[in-house]
């Protein structure tokens, strides 16, 4: 047969099959049955840590994101020591005839080698008068500073000059014309580096503001370490309130940080090294994250990550650099400095305030230890030459000093046993929606002996995901139901990445999208809300019987809130058919469910590729309603491409079931 004929025949077959399939599927409603055994003995307690978050410094998640610092490149370090360098994103107000700037090594702090020297040629009087408003420098922040009317901003900077100074510190609109707040630093003797601080109260709101440092006085001024922070951050801890709130709403049980590839670096010289990120902010050198290609001043450092975990009530999961980057590796025989660095990091977190590193933490304002119980040796490094050798050194040293700390290996143990000891193995999955959905069964047949699984990065990517679609969220919901059903072996799971600043999208999609002043959750963010009550709840045995079971996934849990007890049934209908689902619950009296207290919550939309946006932030988000006919035998209709949670409140006098324990309170 010629290839032309084969093509025609192939086309006809394909056409017929497609037509036939769609004709059948669109017109046919499915029925399915779900059997739930409400007897606790049929299930088990889901780990307290099951659902958490993963924070990576990617997409300006921290610098220019969760970390509320408004000034970008606050120490002028980002261009490096090389001359000529640049002062990006700082710029100059006034032309070459009025002022000259250069980066100099005459710095205020030893670990920050660069400062800015500004020479002003004009004056308030005489032959060369400065233009109105003076000359100087400005910083536009990370794509514009969000300045809000009535709020207070603390500006701190270090200055030096051999003359007296009169410097205006102002927040203005993006073109410098409209002043939102201003104050002057007037000082007679600043011949040594001097800290100056002003509090600015904004008279108006502008989401695209800048910070200006100007003068109308002739002379030379050195600037270093310029910070502008809103006073209004979460507990004053420096976290942008609304973004923190979106994390807190997920009630994450753990937070893995600070990466990801960010931990590794393309080269070890650019990796995240925690000791460079602690202590007074002025003295942190900052570093260039060469994987995601941007500079960070490390205001959000190791201490702040631990503080963030504590503020969220989440267990910190510290991913440390194990002497391996994308392109270079430390030999196992030379790994001891890295070992010491990791042991010191644990002492910093957990040591008492008299210990060497615990005292540094205490000096930063946290005398009580942080509750660090999980560490990961590197990120995605299993295949690297020195991984095992280095890993074993870390494993032995950490277990010797801190036997209770759980250690996470980068090697995937889901298909075969690890050849080294570990408490957890790491599993990452990024794929199209069908693949991720089908992984609902990934852990069904995984070995139950050996380390637990930590799904520390999962997401639908590629064209199915758009920039955060309903389709992606449904596939991920199916996968998570599988994780929940296998939570005897999978103990932790987190979506990735968490954040994206729309001005620097390095990875797509992401759970939370923001700019200088707005934020919204993608459908994948809202999907995670359905699992908030799962950690620590009781997983009940449930069995689904359907003709096209490949497009349905379901689970059942028992959980409590405010002394009320619920049975929660979650079902993803990943198919194009409407499903008539009969839910039969065994082990409860016939009228156990209260019709008032029972609700259903649905994540769906008119189009599978629908997304949220700044304009329509909740277009695809959970919709809650009363559920009709709650009963131990009930029929519910699942619309195509939907994720539904049924929360059936159990009458308290039906709690004690014959021969079983009462439904246990899920403890948070
Ligand atoms: C499918 O179910 C929907 C909702 O119950 C109903 O409106 C529709 O008539 C059904 N279609 C068929 C072909 O049964
Ligand atoms: C599956 O399909 C058959 C025939 O179409 C039907 O008799 C049966 O009830 C279906 N089962 C379920 C669980 O929907
Ligand atoms: C769950 O229930 C099914 C059907 O009754 C049974 O085959 C299965 O063994 C049960 N699983 C567990 C973990 O009890
Ligand atoms: C429910 O689970 C309990 C405990 O495993 C078992 O004794 C009972 O037979 C199960 N009920 C059904 C209908 O499978
Ligand atoms: C400082 O400079 C401002 C202009 O920026 C001027 O109005 C003010 O009088 C100066 N103050 C002193 C004490 O020189
Ligand atoms: C400037 O610093 C030097 C060296 O630390 C010190 O000796 C001197 O007293 C300082 N001068 C002033 C005015 O603070
Ligand atoms: C720290 O040292 C001081 C003085 O040696 C002692 O009184 C205190 O109990 C110690 N604190 C802790 C937490 O060990
Ligand atoms: C769902 O199926 C049941 C029988 O299994 C039937 O009684 C009920 O009417 C169906 N519901 C809808 C909306 O089609």
Using alpha carbons, select from 430, 424, 478 the residue that is nearest to residue 458.
430
pLDDT (0 to 100) of residue 7: 37
What's this model's pTM, rounded to 2 decimal places? 0.92
- The string of pLDDT tens digits covering residues 340-380 is 999 999 999 999 999 999 999 999 999 999 999 999 999 99
* Separation between Cα atoms, residue 258 and residue 63, nearest integer Å: 12
Does a structural domain hold residue 13?
no
Q: Give 420 Cα–ligand 3 centroid separation in angstroms.
A: 33
181, 197, 230 - which closes a domain: 230
Does a structural domain hold residue 18?
no
Residues paired with 496 in a beta bridge = none
* Separation between Cα atoms, residue 554 and residue 540, nearest integer Å: 11
Give 28's pLDDT tier (boundaries 50, 70, 90): low
242 and 177, same structural domain? no
379 and 516, same structural domain? yes
Give 667's pLDDT tier (boundaries 50, 70, 90): very low
* Separation between Cα atoms, residue 497 and residue 459, nearest integer Å: 8
330 and 297, same structural domain? yes
Dihedral of CA 235/239/242/247: which sign?
Answer: negative
* Separation between Cα atoms, residue 95 and residue 608, nearest integer Å: 54
* Number of the ligand closest to the Cα of 39: 4
User: What are the strands, taking DSSP E only, across 74-125?
Assistant: 91-93, 99-104, 115-120
Cβ(334) to ligand 2 under 6 A?
no
Torsion of CA 619, 625, 631, 634, to 10 degrees: -40
Q: The domain that contains 144 carries what CATH number?
A: 2.60.120.260
pLDDT (0 to 100) of residue 108: 86
* Separation between Cα atoms, residue 585 and residue 558, nearest integer Å: 12
* Separation between Cα atoms, residue 213 and residue 507, nearest integer Å: 35
* Separation between Cα atoms, residue 539 and residue 389, nearest integer Å: 39
Sheet holding 499-501, edge to edge: 499-501, 512-514, 519-521
- The closest-lying atom of ligand 8 relative to the alpha carbon of residue 635 is 1
Contact 473, 461 (CB under 8 A): no
Q: 85 CB contacts (<8 Å, ≥6 apart)?
A: 79, 103, 114
Please choose from 40, 44, 543 the residue to mutate so as to test ligand 3's pocket, defined by most ligand atoms within 8 A of CB.
543
Cβ(541) to ligand 3 under 6 A?
yes
Question: Which run of H or E residues covers position 399?
Answer: helix 387-401
Which residue do the tokens 């008299």 mark?
354
Residue 12 has pLDDT above 60, yes or no: no
212, 230, 248 - which closes a domain: 230
Does a structural domain hold residue 240?
yes
Does a structural domain hold residue 14?
no
Please choose from 31, 549, 573 the residue to mutate so as to test ligand 2's pocket, defined by most ligand atoms within 8 A of CB.
31
212 and 139, same structural domain? yes
Q: Give 635 Cα–ligand 8 centroid separation in angstroms.
A: 6
245 and 385, same structural domain? yes
* Number of the ligand closest to the Cα of 131: 5
* Separation between Cα atoms, residue 525 and residue 537, nearest integer Å: 21
629 and 581, same structural domain? yes
549 and 525, same structural domain? no
Which residue do the tokens 């927040």 mark?
171
502, 529, 556 - which closes a domain: 529
600 and 645, same structural domain? yes
Cβ(637) to ligand 1 under 6 A?
yes
Helix 241-249 to helix 302-312 angle (10° resolution) is 50
Residues in the chain: 668
568 and 502, same structural domain? no
Residue 169 has pLDDT above 60, yes or no: yes
359 and 317, same structural domain? yes
* Separation between Cα atoms, residue 457 and residue 93, nearest integer Å: 45
Residue 234 has pLDDT above 80, yes or no: yes
* Separation between Cα atoms, residue 525 and residue 495, nearest integer Å: 9
Does a structural domain hold residue 296?
yes
Residue 658 has pLDDT above 80, yes or no: no
Residue 404 has pLDDT above 50, yes or no: yes
**Token pair in block for residue 234:** 């979460």
Q: The domain that contains 542 carries what CATH number?
A: 2.60.40.1180
Does a structural domain hold residue 661?
no
* Separation between Cα atoms, residue 194 and residue 385, nearest integer Å: 49
Q: What is the mean pLDDT of the chain?
A: 92
Q: Give 28 Cα–ligand 1 centroid separation in angstroms.
A: 8
**Token pair in block for residue 114:** 């660069």
Question: CA distances (Å), 340 to each of 75, 259, 388, 422, in order?
Answer: 29, 20, 18, 20
What integer is the mean pLDDT of 490-505? 98
Q: Give 36 Cα–ligand 5 centroid separation in angstroms.
A: 77
Does a structural domain hold residue 605?
yes
pLDDT (0 to 100) of residue 105: 84
Buried b (16+ CB within 10 A) or exposed e, 107-123: bbbeebbbbbebebebe
Does a structural domain hold residue 129?
yes
Contact 173, 204 (CB under 8 A): no
What integer is the mean pLDDT of 513-519? 98
103 and 63, same structural domain? no
- The closest-lying atom of ligand 7 relative to the alpha carbon of residue 353 is 13
Q: The domain that contains 395 carries what CATH number?
A: 3.20.20.80
322 and 300, same structural domain? yes
Nearest CA to ligand 1 atom 8: 29
pLDDT (0 to 100) of residue 83: 57
Residue 19 has pLDDT above 60, yes or no: no
Half-sphere exposure for 162 (CA within 13 Å, toward CB): 6
Give 106's pLDDT tier (boundaries 50, 70, 90): confident
Nearest CA to ligand 7 atom 1: 354
* Number of the ligand closest to the Cα of 582: 8
Dihedral of CA 301/326/292/316: which sign?
Answer: negative
Question: Which run of H or E residues covers position 336?
Answer: helix 336-350
Residue 38 has what DSSP assignment? -
Residue 257 has pLDDT above 50, yes or no: yes
Q: Structural domain of residue 63, as residue ranges?
A: 53-68+236-529
Number of folded domains that form the chain: 3
Give 653's pLDDT tier (boundaries 50, 70, 90): low
Question: Does residue 190 sit in helix, strand or coil?
Answer: strand
User: What secondary structure does DSSP assign to 342-356, as a single string?
Assistant: HHHHHHHHHS-TTSH
Contact 610, 550 (CB under 8 A): no
* Number of the ligand closest to the Cα of 354: 7
107-121, 145-159, 305-319, 479-493: least confident range: 107-121
């Amino acid at each position: 047969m010629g290839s032309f004929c084969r093509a025609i025949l192939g086309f006809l077959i394909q056409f017929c099959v497609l037509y036939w399939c769609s004709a059948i599927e669109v017109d046919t409603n499915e029925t399915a049955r779900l059997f739930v055994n409400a007897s606790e003995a049929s299930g088990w307690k889901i780990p307290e840590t099951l659902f958490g978050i993963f924070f990576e410094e990617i997409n300006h998640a921290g610098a220019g994101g969760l970390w509320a610092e408004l000034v970008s490149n606050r120490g002028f370090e980002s261009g490096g020591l090389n001359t000529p360098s640049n002062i990006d994103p700082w710029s100059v107000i006034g032309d070459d005839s009025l002022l000259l700037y250069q980066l100099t090594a005459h710095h205020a702090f030893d670990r920050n080698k660069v400062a800015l020297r500004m020479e002003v040629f004009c004056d308030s009087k005489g032959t060369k008068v400065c233009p109105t408003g003076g000359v100087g420098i400005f910083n536009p922040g990370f794509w514009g500073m969000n300045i809000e009317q009535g709020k207070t901003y603390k500006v701190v900077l270090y200055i030096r000059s051999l003359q007296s100074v009169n410097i205006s510190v102002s927040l203005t609109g993006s073109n410098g014309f409209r002043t939102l707040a201003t104050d002057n630093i007037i000082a007679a003797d600043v011949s040594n580096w001097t800290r100056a601080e002003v509090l600015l109260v904004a008279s108006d709101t502008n989401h695209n503001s800048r910070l200006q440092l100007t003068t109308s006085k002739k002379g030379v001024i050195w600037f270093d370490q310029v910070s502008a922070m809103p006073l209004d951050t979460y507990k004053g801890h420096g976290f942008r309130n609304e973004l923190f709130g979106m994390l807190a709403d997920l009630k994450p049980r753990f937070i893995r940080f600070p990466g990801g590839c960010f931990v590794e670096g393309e080269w070890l010289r650019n990796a995240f090294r925690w000791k460079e990120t602690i202590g007074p902010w002025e003295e942190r050198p900052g570093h260039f994250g060469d994987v995601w290609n941007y500079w960070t001043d490390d205001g959000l450092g190791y201490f702040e990550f631990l503080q963030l975990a504590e503020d969220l009530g989440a267990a910190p999961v510290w991913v440390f650099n194990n002497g391996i980057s994308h392109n270079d590796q430390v030999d196992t025989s030379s790994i001891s400095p890295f070992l010491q660095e990791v042991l010191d990091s644990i002492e910093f977190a957990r040591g008492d305030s008299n210990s060497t590193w615990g005292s540094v933490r205490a000096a930063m304002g946290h005398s009580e230890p942080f509750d660090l119980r999980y560490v990961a040796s590197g990120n995605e490094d299993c295949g690297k030459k020195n991984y095992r050798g280095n890993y074993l050194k870390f494993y032995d040293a950490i277990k010797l000093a801190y036997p209770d700390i759980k250690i996470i290996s980068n090697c995937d143990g889901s298909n075969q046993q690890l050849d080294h000891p570990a408490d957890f193995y790491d599993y990452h999955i990024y794929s199209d929606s069908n693949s991720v959905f089908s992984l609902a069964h990934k852990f069904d047949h995984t070995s139950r002996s050996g380390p637990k699984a930590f799904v520390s990065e999962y997401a639908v990517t590629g064209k199915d995901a758009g920039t955060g679609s309903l389709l992606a969220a449904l596939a991920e919901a199916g996968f998570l139901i599988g994780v929940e059903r296998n939570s005897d072996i999978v103990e932790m799971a987190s979506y990735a990445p968490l954040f994206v600043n729309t001005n620097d999208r390095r990875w797509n999609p992401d759970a939370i999208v923001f700019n200088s002043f707005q934020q919204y959750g993608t459908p994948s963010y809202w999907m995670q809300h359905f699992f908030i009550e799962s950690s620590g709840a009781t997983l009940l045995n449930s069995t689904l019987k359907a003709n096209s079971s490949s497009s349905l996934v379901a689970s059942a849990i028992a959980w409590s809130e405010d002394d009320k007890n619920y049975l929660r049934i979650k079902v993803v209908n990943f198919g194009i058919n409407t499903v008539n689902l009969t839910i039969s619950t065994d082990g409860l009296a016939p009228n156990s469910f209260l019709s008032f207290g029972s609700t259903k919550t649905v994540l769906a939309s008119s189009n599978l590729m629908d997304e949220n946006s700044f304009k329509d932030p909740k277009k695809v988000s959970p919709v809650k309603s009363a559920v009709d006919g709650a009963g131990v035998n009930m029929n519910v209709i699942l619309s195509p491409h939907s994720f539904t949670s049924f929360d059936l409140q159990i009458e308290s006098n039906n709690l004690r079931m014959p021969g079983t324990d009462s439904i246990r309170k899920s403890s948070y």
